Structure 1
Amino acid sequence: MREFILFIDTETTGKPLDWDAPYSDATSWPYSVQIAWAVYTKEGQELKGENHYIYEPELEISETSEKIHGITKEFLQEHGKARKQVLSLLAQDLEKYQPLVVGHFMQLDYHMLGVGFHRANLPNPLPQLPTFCTMNASANFFLKQGQRFLRLGELYERLFQEPLQQQHDAAVDVKATAACFFKLMEQGDITPETILRQQEEQRVSRQASSAKNKIQLFIILALFILAVLLIILL
């Protein structure tokens, strides 16, 4: 297990429309409007925390997302920073600490950060770092019929017997994710072995997604070449 753990959470303008779309596809990927992270030692000591709002003129927040996190475009115009500025700070911490990166619904955070790095024209350091998802870890809990995972608030309340206040504020969710992670470690539900097992599952899933994208690109290229040949022949 790494010496440091970086817990992260993002709030966005909406949901991804196509999880397999390349990061350059602006119609498929929403925008991050808040990114928060905190660095801990593996023993649970917090070393630092960051919380930033992001404003870019092109973003539009869906009505559903605004109701969830309460962030408006007007608020971002006043309090937001440039995407590149925020992600440069995150990249510095990822480079400095070389941490295990943990989120609740890490799949979403992983891709939203990847999209952000792409849009900011910055190298994406995440593929070189191990990740872990506390939401996936909650699959081992007793769940309601038809439920696959616990939401962060549900997991927090299950572990600490009190409701999580101010959910969907990325800074609050980061603290809650850290608390849940270390509590699950204390209980033996998260071990170095379960972390490694989940990382292998994520690696296989991302390789499959990458292969699918390459096949789609090959098909598009082949159709384009075929169309050009037909035009020439006709």
Structure 2
Amino acid sequence: MKEYLLFIDTETSGLPKKWHLPYNAPGNWPYAVQVSWLVYTKEGQKIKEENHYVSDDDFEVSTAALRIHGLTKNFLQHTGIPLSKVLQLLSKDLDQYQPMVVGHFIELDYRVIGAGYYRQKISNPMESLSTFCIMKATQHLQQNPHSKFLRLGDLYQLLFKQPLLCQHNALVDAAATADCFFELVKINGIQSFEQPSILFTDEPKLTNTFGWVLVFLIFFFSAFLIACYYG
């Protein structure tokens, strides 16, 4: 493991049209609307944190994305800064600390940020750094046979026995990723820090524990009503 770790998360304008395409594919990858990162030592001491909203007006936020994170264009333009400035700040930390870049589903953040560097015509320092995905690293903890990976909230609940509040805020999610990472290190829950290069061909199947419970409760309640009606 490197001396420094940079935990990163993004909120985006939507989802990619095709998951397998590189980040320089024209019109394929969504835009970052919030970028947050935290720098830690490998011992778990937090060095710094950054949280930035993006004010650029060259994209639209999809209705589906807006329902998830609630970041309107009006809020972004009044609160945010240009993406070029965000990426310059990120590049400074990546160059200074030379960290391992860690995320939950890091492939998405890597490509969204990579697309941002590409569109801004800025050199991408992430390409020369190692990455680590805690979503993939915790695949062995997944108990749902219908899904390969745990959502960040489910992993947090599993490790800390309490819900992760205010999800889909990039700073909250980046901090939760750091908490989960160091807890996994503490309990020897990470089998290897070596992972293959970032590559995927389709959207990963993520479980939603609450969703399964809700479906079961609806089915059970419907059956109960039918039994009462005909009983």
**TM-score, length-normalised on structure 2?**
0.84
Post-superposition CA distance 1:125-145 (Å, at most 9, x none): 111000000111120104212
Q: Partners in 2 of 1:85 and 1:27 — Cα distance?
A: 22
Structure 1 residue aligned with 2:108: 108
Structure 1 residue aligned with 2:217: none
1:61 correspondence with 2:56:
no
Cα distance change of structure 1 residues 135 and 73 upon mapping to structure 2, 3 Å threshold: same
Structure 1 residue aligned with 2:172: 172
| Structure whose residues are more often helix by fraction | 1
**Contact 1:143–1:149 under 8 Å retained in 2:** no
Q: Partners in 1 of 2:172 and 2:188 — Cα distance?
A: 24
Structure 1 residue aligned with 2:193: 195
Structure 1 residue aligned with 2:76: 76
Post-superposition CA distance 1:63-118 (Å, at most 9, x none): 11101011111101101110100000000000000001000000001101100111
**Contact 2:4–2:99 under 8 Å retained in 1:** yes
Q: Partners in 2 of 1:14 and 1:143 — Cα distance?
A: 29
SS in structure 1 of the partner of residue 197 of structure 2: helix
Structure 1 residue aligned with 2:124: 124
Q: Partners in 1 of 2:59 and 2:135 — Cα distance?
A: 28
- Give 2:123's aligned amino acid: P
Q: Partners in 2 of 1:142 and 1:90 — Cα distance?
A: 32
Runs of 5+ unmatched residues, structure 2: 202-231
SS in structure 1 of the partner of residue 138 of structure 2: helix
Moved over 2 A (4+): 19-27
**Contact 2:24–2:118 under 8 Å retained in 1:** yes
Q: Partners in 1 of 2:88 and 2:180 — Cα distance?
A: 28
Runs of 5+ unmatched residues, structure 1: 209-234
**Contact 2:13–2:65 under 8 Å retained in 1:** yes
- Give 1:38's aligned amino acid: L
What pairs with 1:35-50 in structure 2 (closer than 5 Å)? 35-50=35-50
Q: Partners in 1 of 2:11 and 2:61 — Cα distance?
A: 11
Give, in angstroms, the shift of residue 25 of structure 1: 3.5
**Contact 1:10–1:170 under 8 Å retained in 2:** yes
Aligned residues: 201
- Percent identity (aligned): 48
Give, in angstroms, the shift of residue 23 of structure 1: 3.5
SS in structure 1 of the partner of residue 43 of structure 2: coil
Post-superposition CA distance 1:25-80 (Å, at most 9, x none): 44211100000000000000000000000021111001111010111111011011
Cα distance change of structure 1 residues 22 and 151 upon mapping to structure 2, 3 Å threshold: closer
Cα distance change of structure 1 residues 179 and 27 upon mapping to structure 2, 3 Å threshold: same
**Contact 2:138–2:190 under 8 Å retained in 1:** no
Q: Partners in 2 of 1:33 and 1:142 — Cα distance?
A: 30
Q: Partners in 1 of 2:23 and 2:188 — Cα distance?
A: 37
Structure 1 residue aligned with 2:155: 155
**Contact 2:13–2:33 under 8 Å retained in 1:** yes
Q: Partners in 1 of 2:58 and 2:111 — Cα distance?
A: 19
What pairs with 1:2-17 in structure 2 (closer than 5 Å)? 2-17=2-17
- Give 2:76's aligned amino acid: L
Cα distance change of structure 1 residues 107 and 30 upon mapping to structure 2, 3 Å threshold: same
Please say which of residues 67-76 and 24-33 is displaced more in the overlay: 24-33
Structure 2 residue aligned with 1:212: none
**Contact 1:54–1:82 under 8 Å retained in 2:** yes
Structure 1 residue aligned with 2:93: 93
Give, in angstroms, the shift of residue 22 of structure 1: 4.3
**Contact 1:117–1:124 under 8 Å retained in 2:** yes
